[in-house]
Amino acid sequence: MHAAQPVPAIIGQPGVGPTVLQPQVLHPADHLAIRRALRASRLARRPLALTLQLPFCANACHFCTRCRVITKDRSKADDYMRLLGREMETLSRQLDRRQQVVQLHLSGGTPTFAGHRALVQLMQNLQRYFDLSDLPTIDASVAIDPREVDWATLDLLRGLGFNRLSIMQPSLDPAVQQAINRLQGEQQLAECLTAARTLRFHSIGVEVMSGLPEQSLASFRQTLETLVAWQPERIRITRYHHQPQQYPLQRRINRSRLPTNSEIKSARTWLEHYLHTAGYQQLQAGFFVLPQDPLAMAAEDNQLQATSEVISSVLDCDSLGLGLGATSKVKGLSWRNTRQLADWQQRIIRGQFAAEYQYP
Ligand code: SF4
């Protein structure tokens, strides 16, 4: 679920805030360096890892630090998808059509907030501007909110070529869900996982959070035990950090209802032992996989890389992010798109890059 957002801190770092790079503000006139990086990528015909940010959500989770737009108006996603096509066109003009896409990720917000027609249009645009000929074999993933998918949507995504799901399930405890304003019951999760298995998604990852309000060790255990019964190939534990000055919505979370660092530490100790006993390997702090997952093998060869969005095996490629707040890294140069929707729209309509910050 999340670029140039702070990398989510994990359960293994109690009390430590997320890592935030110090960006340099970028004006449209400063885009020369980006053009140069894209040109170098084009001349070397570098493979591409694409991440598309689809920022709309129907409800605001109080813990959220992501770049997202809360709205009930689904038609906004249609307009956004059209502009995303324009951004693809603008960027692809700087690239070579023969640069193969070797990894694809739809991130949110809630990617499935957009309707079926918009998702099909998105894939058609991707096919138009990029080389997706390897789609059946590459890692093609979507961030999923079980409240926002049904069988038909998962079937559509599978048919469009997606083979991996990344499901957000912060907690299964109703008291925690109430406190974070994310009512997402076990039944919804079960239906989502049943459909994903039946539709033969290759890999399912589930993200759980620690350090949430009203969360006890018992409720954390209950969530994990229920999840492990489904044997998702990947389990990621991220830690909530209370930073209401930076994220005003977090003011709705009662600080006094947060677990203490020592309780979180106990949860970590229990978690590592439990998941190890259940057959999971820990690849990084807070990130566990079953041994048959390709990432387990990549880790053995020291070939893992992690961004705030995706943990994957090291690919010799350039990363291109499209959409609101998306991040890119091309030929060693990193940048982040603007996080203001109106600004992003204006830049895309004018045919400009949406890059706002450049990272050292
Ligand atoms: S659904 Fe995801 S992106 Fe949207 S508000 Fe909740 S956590 Fe944030």
Choosing from 64, 112, 188, 253 the residue with most ligand 1 atoms within 8 A of its CB, the one to mutate for a pocket test is 64
pLDDT digit string, tens, across residues 153-195: 999 999 999 999 999 999 999 999 999 999 999 999 999 999 9
CA-2 nearest atom, ligand 1: 3
In a domain, 16, yes or no: no
In a domain, 18, yes or no: no
Domain count, the chain: 1
Please state whether beta strands 311-313 and 287-289 pair in parallel, antiparallel, or not at all (unpaired).
unpaired
Please state whether beta strands 318-322 and 48-54 pair in parallel, antiparallel, or not at all (unpaired).
parallel
With a 6 Å cutoff on the Cβ, whether 334 touches ligand 1 is: no
CATH number at residue 140: 3.80.30.20
Segment 222-251 shows an average pLDDT of 96
In a domain, 155, yes or no: yes
pTM score, whole prediction: 0.90
In a domain, 339, yes or no: yes
In a domain, 1, yes or no: no
With a 6 Å cutoff on the Cβ, whether 68 touches ligand 1 is: yes
Q: Nearest C-alpha to atom 8 of ligand 1 is from which residue?
A: 64
CA of 342 to the centre of ligand 1 (A): 20
At 206, is the pLDDT very low, low, confident or very high (cuts 50, 70, 90)? very high
In a domain, 7, yes or no: no
Residue of 358, 326, 360 lying closest to 25 (CA atoms): 358
With a 6 Å cutoff on the Cβ, whether 324 touches ligand 1 is: no
CA of 82 to the centre of ligand 1 (A): 22
Instruction: Note the residue count of the chain.
Output: 360
Q: Nearest C-alpha to atom 3 of ligand 1 is from which residue?
A: 109
With a 6 Å cutoff on the Cβ, whether 1 touches ligand 1 is: yes
Segment 140-145 shows an average pLDDT of 97
At 111, is the pLDDT very low, low, confident or very high (cuts 50, 70, 90)? very high
User: Residue 180 belongs to what domain range?
Assistant: 24-359
With a 6 Å cutoff on the Cβ, whether 147 touches ligand 1 is: no
Segment 61-68 shows an average pLDDT of 95
pLDDT digit string, tens, across residues 7-56: 333 333 333 344 444 566 766 657 888 999 999 999 999 999 999 999 99
CA-64 nearest atom, ligand 1: 8
Please state whether beta strands 234-239 and 203-210 pair in parallel, antiparallel, or not at all (unpaired).
parallel
In a domain, 12, yes or no: no
CA of 309 to the centre of ligand 1 (A): 14
Q: What is the pLDDT of residue 86?
A: 98
Residue of 101, 71, 70 lying closest to 88 (CA atoms): 101
Please tell me whether the peptide bond between 325 and the residue prior to it is cis, using omega within 30 degrees of 0: no
In a domain, 14, yes or no: no
Tell the burial category of 285 from Cβ atoms under 10 Å away from its Cβ (0-12, 13-18, 19+).
middle
pLDDT digit string, tens, across residues 327-341: 999 998 999 999 999
pLDDT digit string, tens, across residues 71-92: 999 999 999 999 999 999 999 9
